[in-house]
Amino acid sequence: MKIKVARCAGFCFGVKRAINIAESALKELKGRDRIYSFGAIIHNPQVVEELFKKGLRVINNLEKIKGGTVIISSHGAPLETVEDIKRKGIKLIDATCPFVKYAQNIVKDLKKDGYEIIIVGDSAHPEVKALKSIAGKNKKSKKIGVISQTTQNKENYINEIKKILNRDFSEVKIFNTICNDTSKRQSATRRLLEDCDLMIVIGGKNSANTKRLWQICKESGVDSFHVETEPEVNKNWFNGKKRVGITSGASTPDSMVKKIIERIRRF
């Protein structure tokens, strides 16, 4: 049995950056200040657990905290949250990924210019919640601005754009806000699928970009499984398989990919 790993494994730029920001803050402030992240700093429970051991506490609202330092996660935070942090006099460190910031700035400009803003993405995801808060109350308009969540699957995005183009519009502005890392990871996964009879997708079950990779794998018809950690990998999946592909999300540590490959080799 051959094991092939997709190019583009390991943390993306935005995830590495957010972890570095959190670790520097923990080093600098530990023992002197309480440090929180607003939502999981990245969507990988094992990495969040490691940071918890170093002192980073995850909060989902500001009600219970008085003072301290709050780090905004790589996904960004709603405007109201940022305003509340400032109003409460809490120190703020912004670890929003620059690609997410870029999408936020587009939404700000579209709003200023009176466009109806359509965000293609998962409405419950923190990145989309933050974008929606910037867009504010949308009014129906013949001037339409369209952006996608940075981790969107390109095919999904194109399908949604086609539907929007059926509307009565005077102008449509479409932005490709799918980040480079997401595009490369999805392409590498598609290439690998052509040459595999089993795919293992590694990453947080709450990670949007990992879920997109999993969706691509399932839709390809190749037997595919999504796992977060090595004990989840089941020996029976490999019966009769000759070529196993491994792909991983942007917030999956290399160490987890290695552990899972070692487990498969032992089978």
- Contact residues for ligand SF4, defined by CB under 6 A: 12-15, 74, 97, 99-100, 150-151, 179, 181-182, 209, 250
Which residue's CB is nearer to ligand SF4, number 14 or number 204? 14
- Inter-axis angle of helices 126-135 and 98-112, to 10 degrees? 20
Active site residue 127: yes
Which residue's CB is nearer to ligand SF4, number 104 or number 151? 151
Q: Which one from 28, 49, 80, 127 is the annotated catalytic residue?
A: 127
Is the alpha carbon torsion for 95, 32, 54, 84 positive or negative?
negative
Which amino acid type is present at position 194? E
CB of 211 to ligand SF4, least distance (A): 12
What is the C-alpha end-to-end distance of the chain, expressed in Å?
Answer: 10
Which residue's CB is nearer to ligand SF4, number 81 or number 149? 149
CB of 252 to ligand SF4, least distance (A): 11
Within the chain, residue ranges assigned H as helices are 13-29, 45-53, 79-87, 98-112, 126-135, 154-165, 180-193, 208-220, 254-266
CB of 102 to ligand SF4, least distance (A): 9
Cβ atoms within 10 Å, residue 49: 9
- Inter-axis angle of helices 13-29 and 98-112, to 10 degrees? 110
Which residue's CB is nearer to ligand SF4, number 217 or number 264? 217
CB of 81 to ligand SF4, least distance (A): 18
Instruction: Give the nearest residue (CB) to ligand SF4.
Output: 14
> Among all residues, which ones are annotated catalytic?
127
